[in-house]
Structure formats: C-alpha cells, structure tokens
Amino acid sequence: MDRAELIDRIWQRDATVWTGADEAKWLGWLDEPARMRERVGDIVAFADEVADDGLDAIVLLGMGGSSLAPEVLRRTFGSEAFHVLDTTHPAAIRRLEASIDLDRTLFISASKSGSTLETRSHTDYFWERVGKRGASFVAITDPGSELERTAVERGFRRVFNGEPTIGGRYSALSPFGIVPAALMGIDIERLLANAGRMTDLCRKADGNPGYELGRELATGWQQGRDKVCIAETDGSFGLWAEQLIAESTGKQGKGLVPAPGESPDGPDRQAATPQIADPYALAGEFFRWEFAVAVVGSYLEINPFDQPDVQAAKDKTNEVLSTGAEPEVELEGSIDTLLAQAKERDYVCVQAFIEPTEENDRRIDDLVRKLRRRSGLVVTHGYGPRYLHSTGQLHKGGPNTGLFLQVVDDPGDELPIPGKPFGFRRLIRAQAAGDYASLQERGRRVARIHIEDS
C-alpha cells in the first residue's frame, strides 16, 4: 500500500490493513477526541463538585492503560494532590495511606474490564478503610462490567463509562485519561482541542505526523533497528509510550522494544523524540503515537490491538495463589550468569518487584547503568506488577532477545485484602513468581536477585 491508501483504509476501519481479524472492533480511539469534547461540560461539573465538597486529594487505583496516561499527565502538569497507585507492594500502600486524609480523599477505581485483580483489591481495601462511604469513590469502566455493578451496589459518587471499542493502551483520550485530568484541574477543553487538531492532521495524505512517525518506526524495524530509544521528557512520556509500543507490536515473535532514555547510538537502535512544546500538546502527542503504532502494525503484519500473551502471567499468579502457600521467590542465577548468555542485538530488562520509592529509583538507575556498561546492550526497566500490564506482552510474545533480571525485596508484614484469602504481601510475591515461571516456560533467559545484592 502507498501512503494515501494506508491512511484512508485505517480511517475506513478496514481490518485487512492488519490481519483481517477483529481489528475493526478496536478503532474507537480514532473518534474519541471528538466524542470526549461533547462530554466536557459534564466532566468539568463533576470535578467542580468534588472540589466544592472539600475532597482535595485524588487517588487513582488502576493498572496499565488505566494508570499510565494519568501518571504522565500528573507528572507533566505537576499535580501534587493527585496520586496513582499501581503497585501491590504493601509498604507502598501503607505509605500512601499515611500521606492522605481519608476523609478528604476521592478514590478513582479505573478498570476497563472491571475485573483487574490489583484494582479490585485496592478498591476493596480502601472501601473498608473509609468506612464503606460511597461518596469517596468514582468508577471508570466499560458498560456492564463487574466494577460498574459493584459501584452501583455500593453507591459510588459516579460511574463514568468508557468506550468499549477502545483497548486499554489506546484509552488516554477517553474517560480513563480525561476524567483524571479534570480532577487535576487541567483545562480539558484545551487539552482535547490539541488532540482534535492532531486528529485532523492524521487524516491527511501528505504531512501526516502519525503516519510519518509510524513509517519511521516500521522502517527502522525492517532494517534491524528494533530498539526505540524514546527521548526523555519532563513528564516521562516514555512511561506511557512503552506500553503502547510493546503491547501493540510484541507478538508472533516480532516487536519493537521501547527503551525510554536509552542512547540511540547503535546498529539495533533508532531514535524517537516526543514533540511536546507545552503541557497541553501532550494530548496531540498521545494521538500521534496511537496512529503511528497502528501504522507499524500494518508493516509488521500483526494485530496491534490484541494482547494474546498477557494472560499467561495472570494465570501463573492465580496458580501460585491457589496453593495457599507462601510463594517461592528464592534467588536464582546471578547477573554474571545472565549476562554470560548475552548475544549481539539482545536487550536487558530489569523487572523490579520492590517498593517504588525515590531511594529504590536511584538503586534501579544505578543497576541499569551497571548492566549497560557491562553488556553494551540496551537496558529497559519497570516496576512490577505495573510492567505486567505494560511491556509484559512483548517479553513473552515478542522476539526472544531479552535477558530478564527480576529484582525482589522483603515486602514486610502482610496487609490483608478484604474478602480474599491472601493479602498484598502474598499477592506481589505470587506475581513475581508467576511471571518468572511464565518467562521460563517460553524459554526466556531469566535470573532473580535481591535488591540489596544489586
């Protein structure tokens, strides 16, 4: 296909642009900026109501597509009263709870499926902690989901329905991103206007920013430059973009490997620079990259809207939890033995099932630098279980070029989850054990160390 034909067929919802499977069912994101502009008045009125009621702290309970766009918005606009909880580490949950006044906090329970284990566990925990007060909660979920039913039964302050024809990683400009943005005090009319302008540009046959980015990424992949080195931004745009790229393209043994902050100098690397002239340009950039990755999917001849290997780690986690025993997360291998297996054009991935703190951020950064220096390879990293909802698809369904280093800590005392036979300590350990086993089953090269030994 030439440029004009590809662009036209994407807008016509022609699934044969990709694999001819169910892709046409997942293209609601193309029209979402326009749909959301019709909902601005309602969303702004809701945000004003929350502020008028004295709820001056907002906590988003979500994973992956439900949390990463709000997190990048939070960082980009510097919203100190907005918190994103996307870890099951008990120490992190205790620390967040100690930092807020529960009586003055609104909790956003965000899950497209409505059944995300982490989100439901966080919701049930804080539901008990606030005394089962429905006015302290709002849900963002697809119509008819389990979470929607729970929200209605419990009398949540509000339920915002997502668009069912949009997958999680394409939901930044849907209620999953825009409702949190309004609650941060962001001018969502202005934000969506930027997205609308980019949408119009991405309809053009010539000078189409989304197509151009997608063609560059795909051409790089065809030339063996499959590591996408995303330039750093003040709002950590790469944190969102890596899920979009990895989960969309990492399947059938193919895939682009997003590497935020890595140097683009190397035969297996290509540079990608987010264009965010001011914070409100972020919305347009969300759409540009969404369109670009759809274009990449056509070049790779894969379905960029499914995630066939994400369930594997979830199933393994449930297997570990079902035994009722303490999960086994013993140290296995070492950095030396892992790096000894490295080949040219591989990459190293640090998977940190530890408490996300500034000190641990520094430790992981130090570990990344050491691994980069010793291996000469691209090094990516992410906190677990967040990365399971982000780059996990690539790790299992993409090319077998990853060296995976799982990093664990002592999660501390158990923190019970209401209604569950396990608590957050056992859950995060089961998630680490489950993903490790899933990677091993796929013949991936893996090792596990303790953060203190890094």
DSSP 139-180: EEE-TT-HHHHHHHHHT-SEEEEPPTTS-GGG-TTSHHHHHH
3-state secondary structure of 227: strand
Per-10-residue mean pLDDT of the chain, 454 residues long, equals: 96 98 97 98 98 97 97 98 98 98 98 97 98 98 98 98 97 98 98 98 97 98 98 97 98 98 98 98 98 98 95 91 94 98 98 97 98 98 96 97 98 97 98 97 97 91
Cis ω on the peptide bond leading into residue 308 (within 30° of 0)?
no
Cα 348 from Cα 379, distance rounded (Å): 5
pLDDT of residue 11: 98
**Mean pLDDT over the full length of the chain:** 97
pLDDT of residue 203: 98
Rg for the chain (alpha carbons), in Å? 21
pLDDT of residue 312: 85
Domains of the chain, each with CATH number or no CATH: 3-14+202-300 (3.40.50.10490), 32-186 (3.40.50.10490), 310-453 (3.40.50.10490)
* Residue 259 tokens, joined: 């590497």
Cα 404 from Cα 352, distance rounded (Å): 10
* Residue 159 tokens, joined: 């339920």
Cα 116 from Cα 95, distance rounded (Å): 22
pLDDT of residue 137: 98
Contact 67, 60 (CB under 8 A): yes
- Answering whether pTM is above 0.95, one says yes
Q: Write the single-letter amino acid at 58.
A: I
DSSP 250-284: --TT---EE-TT----STTEEEE----SSGGGHHH
Contact 272, 217 (CB under 8 A): yes
Closest CA relative to residue 26, chosen from 149, 144, 162:
162
Cα 109 from Cα 177, distance rounded (Å): 13
pLDDT per residue as tens digits for the range 214-256: 999 999 999 999 999 999 999 999 999 999 999 999 999 999 9
DSSP 319-366: HHHHT-SPP----BS-HHHHHTT--TT-EEEEEEES---HHHHHHHHH
At residue 92's C-alpha, the angle toward residues 88 and 94, to 5°, is: 105
